Amino acid sequence: MDREQLKVNRSERNRKVAEELKYISQGSVYQNMLRASYHNMRRRELSGTPALPAKDSLLRAIESVRKHNPGFQPAYDKEFFQT
């Protein structure tokens, strides 16, 4: 794959992740940690598995935040993420 195609794919991934983040609320430190974790995890996972459902990345990001705050209750659009 040439360099230009990589830029296009990266741009598409960034656009997709930015769109999905609209469905995860901003808020507390831990809620914002969820958003950051989702952003990083989702971009990385999409580069390897483009068809991976958003739900899978979200659940892993929630797990990651719960390592720091076991009682964390995330705020996100359950219908969008199909949870």
Q: Give alpha helix (H) positions in 1-83.
A: 3-21, 29-48, 54-66, 78-81
Whether the Cβ atoms of residue 69 and residue 38 lie closer than 8 Å to each other: no
Q: What is the pLDDT of residues 25-72, one digit of tens each?
A: 999 999 999 999 999 999 999 988 889 999 999 999 999 999 999 999
- Sequence ranges of the domains in the chain: 3-71
pLDDT band with cut points at 50, 70 and 90 for residue 3: low
CA within 13 Å, CB half, 17: 23
DSSP code of 50? T
